[in-house]
Amino acid sequence: MLETNGSLPGELVKLTELVDCVSMDVKLPEHEAVSNWDDLLDQEIKSIKILIEKGINSYCKLVVQPSTTTETVAFIASRIKDEIPDNHKISLVVQPASPLDMWAGKTHKLLEISEKAGEHLDVLTIPQVHKLLNLR
């Protein structure tokens, strides 16, 4: 099992013979992981293609905040659907950011995000279990 971001598809391809399952983060613009988010998303999609082509059991994770727009999530999910030929082989795990207290009174937003993504991909909505269990 490899848990990674998808920002380096050239490096990921080197590991494909060593792993049988990959959990890959897809970053949102508000995560501010890089200065050019569009380029990052392009790299993440290349990584997803590699995993699918190599037959590696994989899923993508998207950590959302109450401020995340359904439009952003729909854009990401539609890009994956449109650009990955075998998109039925990849699921999108929507994870509400921790602490979960920030979602009090906003569960409708989480459901809207999940439903919008579900128009494009198979979606699972689960919390960040490692945070609930106080694991690193």
- The model's pLDDT over 13-66, given as tens digits with 9 standing for 90+, comes to 999 999 999 999 999 999 888 999 999 999 999 999 999 999 999 999 999 999
Task: Give pTM, 2 decimals.
Answer: 0.91
DSSP 121: S
Per-residue model confidence as pLDDT tens digits over 109-121: 999 999 999 999 9
Specify the fold of 2-132: pyruvate-formate lyase- activating enzyme (3.80.30)
